[in-house]
Amino acid sequence: MRILIVEDEPRLLRNLARALREEEYAVDTAERGDEGIFKAESCNYDAIVLDVMLPGMDGWQFLTRLRKTKQTPVLMLTARDAPPDRVRGLDTGADDYLVKPFDLAELLARIRSIIRRASGNANPCLELGDVMIDPRARSVTFAGDAVTLTAREYSILEYLALQRGHVVTRTELYEHLFDENEDTLSNLLDVHIFSIRKKIRPDIIKTRRGDGYYIEE
Ligand code: CA
């Protein structure tokens, strides 16, 4: 999962980015609203964490413009707990909001929740027959036994599971799983997929030649 954080307080931005990377998200950042909207419009993020008071373009303008082209889930960070502010955020198309200062664990839970809702999965656990994925614990079981996946393998499996029934192209996987600072080696994806199949079962992820990968509904 790839997340964009738009926040102009350098320390908060650094801390948020670090916390999200520790949770194995790919993270891009912007310190200005105009820089943020450029990134948000040119990349399909899985979620955006958006501060309200920003230089260049404020959070409201950002959101109004984003919603013209994209349904990316947005969690707004507001410094003011005034009810009109919250109402405005939800009316403008925010999916959730948090009032600063907030608890990091709560932010992480809300991000998981808006990503899950955006993919149409109400259940926190993703069930694929005898394979169970728990995004809260980032854990996987197969026929009741724990499967040990690397962070990257887990991210690939979770992403394909959220999109199950649809073919996901290699380009889309790279876009959602690697951030702007990472080198993307094209053969790496195959290595991860091979390893996931070996650890779970060979047909857990199917290949559509020339198109990409998918998990059956
Ligand atoms: Ca701010």
| 3-17 pLDDT tens trace | 999 999 999 999 999
Position 189 confidence tier, pLDDT thresholds 50, 70, 90: confident
116 C-alpha vs ligand 1 centroid, how far in Å? 27
User: Which residue from 84, 29, 37 is spatially nearest to 57, judged by alpha carbons?
Assistant: 37
Residue 186 has pLDDT above 60, yes or no: no
Q: Is the dihedral of CA 71, 120, 142, 146 positive or negative?
A: positive
**What average pLDDT score do residues 59-64 get?**
93
For residues 73 and 95, the answer to whether their CB atoms sit within 8 Å is yes
Ordered by start, the domain boundaries in the chain are 2-118, 126-214
Q: Please, which residues have CB within 8 angstroms of residue 73's CB and are 6 or more apart in sequence?
A: 46, 47, 48, 95, 96, 114, 115, 117, 118
Q: What beta strand segments (E) does 43-114 contain?
A: 47-51, 74-78, 96-99
Phi, psi of 4 (to 5 degrees): -105, 130
178 C-alpha vs ligand 1 centroid, how far in Å? 26
User: Which residue from 189, 184, 130, 202 is spatially nearest to 159, judged by alpha carbons?
Assistant: 189
30 C-alpha vs ligand 1 centroid, how far in Å? 12
Architecture of the domain spanning 126-214: Orthogonal Bundle (1.10)
28 C-alpha vs ligand 1 centroid, how far in Å? 17
68 C-alpha vs ligand 1 centroid, how far in Å? 23
Helix (H, G, I), strand (E, B) or coil at 166: coil
* Residue 185: per-residue pLDDT: 60
97 C-alpha vs ligand 1 centroid, how far in Å? 14
CATH class of 2-118: alpha beta
**Whole-structure pTM value:** 0.80
Domains 2-118 and 126-214 share a fold: no
For residues 156 and 192, the answer to whether their CB atoms sit within 8 Å is yes
| 73-98 pLDDT tens trace | 999 998 766 566 666 767 778 899 89
51 C-alpha vs ligand 1 centroid, how far in Å? 6
204 C-alpha vs ligand 1 centroid, how far in Å? 44
Give exposure, 32-59, as e/b (b: 16+ Cβ within 10 Å).
ebebbbebbeebebbbbbbbbebebbeb
**CA–CA separation, 35 vs 55, rounded Å?**
10
| 129-143 pLDDT tens trace | 899 999 888 899 999
Residue where the block lists tokens 């857990």: 204
77 C-alpha vs ligand 1 centroid, how far in Å? 9
* Residue 181: per-residue pLDDT: 73
19 C-alpha vs ligand 1 centroid, how far in Å? 19
